[in-house]
Amino acid sequence: MSYRSVFRPGLFAGQTHIVTGGGSGIGRCAAHELAALGAHVVLVGRNVERLQATAAEIGEDGGSASFLSLDIRDEEAVTAAVAQVVAERGAIHGLVNNAGGQFPSPLMHISKKGWDAVVNSNLTGGFLFAREVFKQSMQQHGGSIVNIVADMWRGMPGMGHSGAARMGMLSFTETAAVEWAHAGVRVNAVAPGFIASSGMDRYDPSFAQTVIPMMRHYIPAKRMGDEDEISSTIVFLLSPGASYVSGACLCVDGGSSLNTKLFQLPEHDRMPAQNAFHRAVRPKAVTGA
């Protein structure tokens, strides 16, 4: 065998990657995936217990992780956090802008405060993190940034604040991919569809009871996605396997964003899952447990 695949153990050895929202759900899974490939992972979030628990899990598994508790909407805190990572670890090789979320509400009932909370979480916070990582490290050393957006392609009815913010994040991704290419920085996005992440348990139980059972009817894959199916895509985009990919958005949604709703989707169970995450926690909202 002479082909030297980029996908090999220790792919990220000696590198430092920041994962915002790394204490739970998709971010926790991505942090495990990166650590398993040799990276030191810096987990960012607000809830210290969750961050601590994820860092401890990674340590138990033989990986390396640390954490910083902050709100990504706080410009000073973001600037200081990035400075701390650079001071302690040197260059930052990857940033996963994953922290975010929203609440279900029709547009007419969203208050200005609620709109701002969601737009600042899903657009401004990611911008601040990317800007600081670029200014304080990647401008000199290059690197890769992955921004998590959502299935917001034809609007996001019921979550319009989030749809607006995520579309903004996609535009930011495209702009940064062009502006920062000269420094060897790639910037991409991942748009998850309906993912059975632990984040689903953060919604009101009525969301789980009414919306979650309907989801699979609109997904050609006929199942929700798993956290590891997003993480492996994130890691691909961070890796040298994606060295010529920048400004792209990969939809990881079992085809749901392409469903015209006119085509009758046949029932099936033929879309295999990865089942890669040995510490996966299925959300109660999905299992009904």
Ligand X SMILES: NC(=O)C1=CN([C@@H]2O[C@H](COP(=O)(O)OP(=O)(O)OC[C@H]3O[C@@H](n4cnc5c(N)ncnc54)[C@H](OP(=O)(O)O)[C@@H]3O)[C@@H](O)[C@H]2O)C=CC1
Residues near ligand L4XM7KOE (CB under 6 A) are 101-105, 111, 113-114, 117-118, 121, 150, 158-159, 197, 199-200, 202, 211
Cβ atoms within 10 Å, residue 194: 22
- Residue 66 contact, options ligand X, ligand L4XM7KOE, none, Cβ 5-8 Å cut-off depending on partner type: none
What is the Cα–Cα distance from 28 to 50, expressed in whole angstroms? 9
Angle 81-21-198 (CA atoms, 0-180°, nearest 5)? Answer: 160
Q: Using an 8 Å Cβ cutoff, are 50 and 224 in contact?
A: no
* 254 touches ligand X by CB under 6 A: no
The number of residues that bind ligand X (CB under 6 A) is 30
The enclosing H or E element of 86 equals: helix 75-89
CA 212 to mean position of chain CA atoms: 20
Judged by CB under 6 A, the chain residues 85 through 144 that form the site for ligand X are 98-101, 121, 125
Three-class secondary structure of residue 12 per DSSP: coil
The Cβ of residue 149 has, within 10 Å, a number of other Cβ atoms equal to: 27
* Contact partner, 45, from ligand X, ligand L4XM7KOE, none, Cβ < 5-8 Å per class: ligand X
Q: Find the shortest distance in angstroms from Cβ 51 to ligand X.
A: 7
Partner whose binding site includes residue 163, from ligand L4XM7KOE, ligand X, none (CB under 5 to 8 Å by kind): none
Sign of the C-alpha dihedral, residues 130, 143, 189, 268? negative
Tokens found for residue 175: 């702009």
* Residue window 47-86: x/- pattern of binding to ligand X, with contact defined by CB under 6 A: x--x--------------------xxx-------------
d(CA 90, CA 206): 46
Q: Rounded CA gap, 199 and 29, in Å?
A: 12
Cβ-based nearer residue to ligand X, 23 or 94? 23
Nearer to ligand L4XM7KOE, 143 or 199 (CB): 199
Residue 9 or residue 189: which is nearer to ligand X going by CB? 189
Q: What is the largest CA-CA distance in the chain?
A: 61
111 binds, among ligand X, ligand L4XM7KOE, none (CB under 5 to 8 A by kind): ligand L4XM7KOE
Contact with ligand X (CB under 6 A): which of 94, 143, 160, 199?
Answer: 199
Residues that bind ligand X (CB under 6 A): 20-21, 23-27, 45-47, 50, 71-73, 98-101, 121, 125, 148, 150, 192, 194-195, 197-200, 202
